[in-house]
Structure 1
């Protein structure tokens, strides 16, 4: 639009508006609202993607527009919040590399051989600084990638910008809408508006896998397999396998010991309390928490709250996990009287919910914090989820029934009545709180998870399932990585800590019927 510069405070934005509307006589009035509407029109008509509307009251920023084009008005093969954050991202990536010794060791070991040369990987996993280290490792090993985030709030914009600057087609920004999220995932599947000739998938939660199976099934003829990062995604893969809907092999990275014990347990121990404190500035000591689920994520989450001085209670449906909670010194309770889940407020344990200051869900299941629990929980309580999806908390009921007041990004005050003190504080809209309200797990924890992802991608590519004649292909399955590879990752992580692992003598190895080089435990061993 002519003379846009006199109204736009950002010079890059001014140039881009002029470039998109060269020769136009359409005037811009001196109101910022008109300028914003023009930006939205430019984006929707010229860039072919939905207008970005972030938190309520915000439309689109200069940086969001300037991050979508290259010199000469050519469409950029990426979409990030602000490409100018790339230098900041690179500084943090360099710091993260020093905290990810296993991943860097794999990079040094395998980069000369380029074991992923020819691999074309579509990745859908939280676009964080640690993920940037993973992406660069895959590139060093010879792969080409296209990337999106697996959560609307989890992207770290400086990490995405650094990847875009590297030339990686990345489509991710913090605060996507559901529509934008689907668009971003689809842009990784498409290249030049056609399905990309990808041969590997790296997924977190299963949305990428689902979209390709449902919308682009022909691509599966050329895909060697999927490596899945998280519990929820593995559940979806197993369900697809049981229903004969899964068309390619999958590796369950989640259940590698160096993933589940590090990421799920120790990572959550570090990041849950961080997220709650960043979101609310609340002193947690002496208050009561209710943690729903005591799997690996629940164990780490409970420890996170306990180390803050909270009184922690556990809700479980599995008697084995419930027993573990008891042995770890937690009280095992039920939000429903006598543990009978009726979904009715009349059957809620009013005393328990009425004194709960923080409620955390971590099950991978649906509506484990249901409407009845939300109706009876203590006024002012903090409610959050550290599972993958937002359906663990019945946020749909909250939206239909109650008034929401946004306090700040990823913090909402949800009023249950006209009483100004009758509210719940909901973090990250019920989505993954540690990446929505904080920075997620530390690099040292993600080191194990992402080293497993690299080995899984190498394993799938080496197997070359899609290259085999159809009648000679191995049956589609969902399997964990061989234990030997799990031990390789663990060894590299121990060395990164400066630790030394003692070697077995041949006599000792023979005595317990293992090799001196491992594996050291049977597959049935419970770590």
Structure 2
């Protein structure tokens, strides 16, 4: 069967629009294009099957095409029902990539497409949020046999993988791309910060300046969200469960307090924890009329939707990607993008130049796993520093600049204890 015959997409007629989107990001992803040139020559994935589960938009499409250029037979599916772009899916099918994704499928259909992407019996996987890995280790362990390993790019996914490894249950090596310097320093911080407010501003059409923004979690994503909110003129409050991160947020110039207090003050709430129910019932009870709730974590569990609905007398869509929950006392709370990842559910995700580095890490991680999988063991492992540094070096070169090099004498000095 051809890729077209195997694919499950919404509308093949949208391909031309999708190609335009891919062409735009391609022009702004020079590092990934440099790796593509390398892959075309070396063919590291020749004869192999690769299944990719990521937010299926134009930048991801470019990564899929790079893996394909390395010789792989590529199947791709979406990692979030709201982030899939149907025109991009159609374009990829025309490029010979099997696509199993649609915008906003029913939950059962979404899960079925994830499983179908695994039924191709891939040799390698690229995962987001641990979606494919979870299915392989629960419902479809019969499909693990062919898998050499893969790469995971999210904080949520790494949490799940490490829990699986702790139980001694992980069945193949997975590279923690999220823990690479060129991922969390730039993607998590600058990418999340910008894309979250791109989405919030586009969706609400409201001013940020002067509002109180509550950032729930001060990891690298939370740092980026807080920094961008401050830059837009907001008063920023950070809530945390880690005292060290709390001190860090305080010294970065932000107010730090428990959510029980912050809930009374916030105009906009953004969750970035990777945890469950960080905004919940008792917080809704004291929020201002008109408070806006947004989640920037992978799963739609950080803002507790069942408890929000239970406290509401009405629920209605008041604007695309905005649901109004009217409380018993008449207060209105607004949830963006169904509580799903707001920057992709209600926006286009991270800027292309940021994802250029992240997806370059993904491509190099996949090659690394394929080259070394027999020696890596069944564990979560870090990307070798030299590959991380290679991406940074390529990035600087694409900007027309570089950094200094140590002299032999300096290297000898640093390596000496005397």
SS of alignment partner, residue 163 of structure 1: helix
Q: Equivalents in 1 of 2:376, 2:385: separation in Å? A: 20
SS of alignment partner, residue 122 of structure 1: strand
Tell me, yes or no, if the aligned pair for 2:4 and 2:94 is still in contact at 8 Å: no
* Residue equivalent to 1:231: 155
SS of alignment partner, residue 215 of structure 2: strand
**How far off is 1:327 after superposition?**
1.5
Which of 63, 76, 83 aligns to 1:147? It is 76
> Superposed, which structure 2 residues align to 1:265-284 within 5 Å?
265-284=189-208
SS of alignment partner, residue 316 of structure 2: strand
Q: Number of residue pairs matched?
A: 415
Deviations 1:371-428 (A, max 9, x none): 1112211110100000111111111212344221012332111111263xx1111001
Q: Equivalents in 2 of 1:199, 1:433: separation in Å? A: 32
Q: Equivalents in 1 of 2:124, 2:323: separation in Å? A: 38
* Residue equivalent to 2:39: 110
Distance 1:79 1:399, change over 3 A: farther
Distance 1:408 1:183, change over 3 A: farther
**Unpaired runs of at least 5, structure 2:** none
* Residue equivalent to 1:399: 309
**Unpaired runs of at least 5, structure 1:** 1-69, 191-195, 337-348, 466-472, 515-527
SS of alignment partner, residue 222 of structure 1: coil
* Residue equivalent to 2:362: 453
Q: Equivalents in 2 of 1:497, 1:407: separation in Å? A: 43
> Superposed, which structure 2 residues align to 1:34-45 within 5 Å?
none
* Residue equivalent to 1:43: none
* Residue equivalent to 2:28: 99
* Residue equivalent to 2:345: 436
* Residue equivalent to 2:336: 427
Tell me, yes or no, if the aligned pair for 1:93 and 1:130 is still in contact at 8 Å: yes
Which of 380, 383, 386 aligns to 2:296? It is 386
Q: Equivalents in 1 of 2:340, 2:224: separation in Å? A: 18
* Residue equivalent to 2:106: 177
SS of alignment partner, residue 76 of structure 1: helix
Q: Equivalents in 2 of 1:513, 1:118: separation in Å? A: 43
Which of 137, 146, 149 aligns to 1:222? It is 146
**How far off is 1:285 after superposition?**
0.6
* Residue equivalent to 1:509: 411
> Superposed, which structure 2 residues align to 1:14-163 within 5 Å?
76-163=5-92
Deviations 1:135-166 (A, max 9, x none): 00000011111111111111122211111221
After TM superposition, the structure 1 stretch with the greater mean CA deviation from structure 2, 441-450 or 157-166, is: 157-166
* Residue equivalent to 1:522: none
SS of alignment partner, residue 278 of structure 1: helix
**How far off is 1:75 after superposition?**
8.3
Deviations 1:249-286 (A, max 9, x none): 11101000001111100101211111111111011111
Runs of 4+ in structure 1 off by over 3 angstroms are none
* Residue equivalent to 2:276: 366
Tell me, yes or no, if the aligned pair for 2:86 and 2:103 is still in contact at 8 Å: yes
* Residue equivalent to 1:410: 321
**How far off is 1:101 after superposition?**
1.3
**How far off is 1:291 after superposition?**
0.6
Question: Is the aligned partner of 1:492 residue 2:387?
Answer: no
Q: Equivalents in 2 of 1:369, 1:484: separation in Å? A: 40
Tell me, yes or no, if the aligned pair for 1:268 and 1:304 is still in contact at 8 Å: no
**How far off is 1:441 after superposition?**
0.3
Question: Is the aligned partner of 1:309 residue 2:233?
Answer: yes
* Residue equivalent to 2:249: 325
SS of alignment partner, residue 334 of structure 2: strand
